[in-house]
Every structure is written in structure tokens, then in C-alpha cells.
Amino acid sequence: MEKQKTIRNKFSLQGKGLHTGEEARLEFLPGPVNTGIVFIKQDSNPPVLIKGDSYSLASLEKFPRRTSIGSGDNYIQTVEHLMASLSILGIDNIQINIWGSEIPGLDGSAKEFVDQIKKAEIATQEAVKDIFAPKSSIWLEEGDASVAVLPSDKFRISYLLDYGQSSIGSGFVDIVLNGSEKEDFYQARTFCLQNEVDGLLKMGLGKGADYKNTLVVSEKGVVNNKLRVSEEFTKHKALDLVGDLYLAGPLKAHIVAIKSGHSLNIKLLEKIRRHKEKAKSAGVASVASYIPGEGELDAEEIMKILPHRYPFLLVDRIIDLEKGKRAVGIKNVTINEHFFQGHFPGKPVMPGVLLVEAMAQVGGVLMLACPEHSGKLAYFMAAEKVKFRKTVLPGDQLILEVKTLKIRSRTGKVAGTVKVNDKVVAEAELMFSLI
């Protein structure tokens, strides 16, 4: 299991924004586990916290040709190069204090961010990294641009650039990211066509751009500068894509992009967000990277492992837990259970399907309590050999026992029984997919 990372030492950076031309200062601090990328606008009164995630995305109509985050009157513009550096180095948790409205453009790439983070040293944390690995494809297109997210066991970017008959021309890069700056694409600088410059300035953009931090391309080639790395134009578009996608958090997927830019990237982020929400709502998920001890677990500890809450949490207590082997839970059935109102109200009987669900919840605790599965999703995939032997009535205490038949890295199978007064009332074999 991959562990979360932060920085060991704080550091600062400052410079002008590429579009606003305004000076800004950044202070980078280590972040606690499970806090994510957190920006704090220190020049607001009081300071405003803005999460570096897809829920904070700002409209491209408000801030064209760059990726910005915020809400209300508080925004941070042009976050893509900084976010790309955090993605490349695998930084999960960090606090970034900012004085200003736009991330400094520096040399127009992610190079200085990467260099400074490395100098600050990367620290591995105890919590498990929350990686989204889609099981099905996601596809979007906009005009002649398109992007696809394909299932993969790696984070890979395949990007095709095509600027037609201009000096930029076309290019292709295929990059596998592995939490290091091994690839040189993080050094690729932003660029624009020379005939776009006046139009951008009239739009109020590019006020902080110059020939050093922006590759200006005329019909004859790059003006007053030269390329730093091979396929620099294509690699910078891939860099922007990596930075934009990190607002969705760590990914394991193959991204295939054709002429994709910020507009399509942001639409993709919104689709990934919906995909993640749907996936998490369908699974038995560990809501935090909580690793319990063995023995007994009270309701509060169970709720640190399972996302279920009243009225659908069907386990009151775990009375015995042997990680990876066996778990025993109890459920006290009372006349006040919500399901008795509509299920044989004249003679209350606990629905059999809820007995299976109660066994599945104990099975979820058994699997997700193991350190190697902390933070995963446990999808309840199938039930076999289901038998209901006796009815369960108000006043009964359920003894829910599950035993491991097999638990692998991606699948799990348990045998469960439900007893009342030492008599079996239900049993089943339950299968899970661990993601």
C-alpha cells in the first residue's frame, strides 16, 4: 500500500503572476495526514481556506486560459503548474499560505516548484494514500479535442498536440508518472503564438509574461529564446493536464488526450468527481485511514471504519476481532427499529436481506481493519449459500460471526452466521471486491 507524503521543512517562494502581473508570496508548510492540499489566503481578513480540489474549481469564463480555485470574492489563479509539481512528487498533504491573487509564474514551468519541494525534503506519513483507480472508461470531447480516462495500474499520460500549420506544429509524448521527477516534462514552459499576444493583453491576460517565462512562437520559430527540452510544447500541455487532474487527487489511470486544454480538462475533472462519488456511495468504504487494535471495538470505532450511520448501521459493537481471520459483532434488535414500521407491522419480523447486510458490515470491518486494506473500498459483490432458518423478532440479540475464507489484495470472501440464543437463524458466504 502506498503511503501519504508531505514535506519535512517549510520554505517560501515569491514572484509575479503570469496573467495578473501582480506580486505574490507563498509559504509551504507540512500538512497532517488526510488534510490534502490546503491554500490559506493570508491577505484576506480573516484568512480564507481554499481546498486544492475539484470542488473549489472556478469558472473559466471568469478566469480564462488558466485553472483557478476559490469561491465568493476569494480566488487563487493559475494553480496548474504548482499542482503538477505536487502530483509529480506525490505530495498528498501540504499547507500553502498565499499573499496575492495568483500563483507566481516563475519560469513558466513547474521546475522551481519541484526543485524547492525536493530541497524541503519529502516525508512519508503513516496513512494510506487515497488513489482513485477507475474500473471503467471515462470519455469527453469538445470540438476536435478529446480526452479519455482508461483503467490502468499506473498513472500514464499520452498526449497528442496539433497546432496545424503554425511553427508549433504537432507532437506526441507518452509519460508514466511514478512519484518522482524522472521525466523532464516538468521543465517545459508555457507558450503562445505571437499573433495571440495583442489579443491576450486586451483581455487583461499575460501581464506578467515575458520572453523568459513564456515561449512566444512566430512563423519563424521561438522569439528571443530557445527550447529547453525536446517536444517542449507538447510536454507543457501534458504538464497542464497533470496539474489540472491533481485537483481530483492521486490517480491510477491511463489518460489519452488529443489537443486537450484547460476547458476540457476542467470538464473532465467534474466527470471524475461524479464518478468517484458514485463509486464511494456504492461501496463499504473506510472513511478514514483508521487502523484499530484487535479485540473489542465500540460503535465510535466501527464508524471510523464503515461509512454507515443510523438507520443503516446494523452493528452495535464488535466483541472479538482477529485481523484477517475472524470478527464477531452484536446487534440488539428493538421494537423501535425503522424497518418494523413497514415489514409485517402486525407481527414484526426483521427482513432477511438485512441479516445478510449485517453480516456484510461485520465482514467489511474484518477486511478494512487490516493495515494493508485501510482506506480501500469493499464492494459487496455477491452472496452464496444463503439460508434463513428462523425469524428474528424484537428483543433478540444477534451474534454476527464472519470467518475469512480468503482475502487477497483485490478480493475477499467470508463465511457468515447469525445466531440468536446459540441457534443459527441465517448464514451465507459473502464476496467482496477490494479497491
Residues labelled catalytic: 262, 343
Cell of 192: 503562445
Kindly report the CA angle at 141 between 206 and 256, in degrees rounded to 5? 85
Residue 352: enclosing H or E segment and its boundaries?
A: helix 352-368
What is d(CA 351, CA 337) in angstroms, rounded to the nearest whole number? Answer: 11
DSSP 121-185: -EEEEEEEP--B--SS-EEEEETTEEEEEEE-SSEEEEEEEE-TTSSS-EEEEEEEE-SS--SGG
Instruction: Find all residues with CB under 8 Å of 176, minimum gap 6, and list them.
Output: 154, 155, 156, 183
Instruction: Find all residues with CB under 8 Å of 45, minimum gap 6, and list them.
Output: none
Closest CA relative to residue 117, chosen from 5, 272, 273, 222: 5
Maximum alpha-carbon separation in the chain = 87
What is d(CA 80, CA 86) in angstroms, rounded to the nearest whole number? Answer: 10
Residue 329 CA, chain-centre distance (Å), reads 32
Cell of 78: 493559475
**For residue 430, how many other CB atoms are within 10 A of its CB?**
25
Classify residue 68 by burial, with Cβ atoms within 10 Å: 0-12, 13-18, 19+: buried
Task: Report yes or no: 430 and 360 within 8 Å, Cβ to Cβ.
Answer: yes
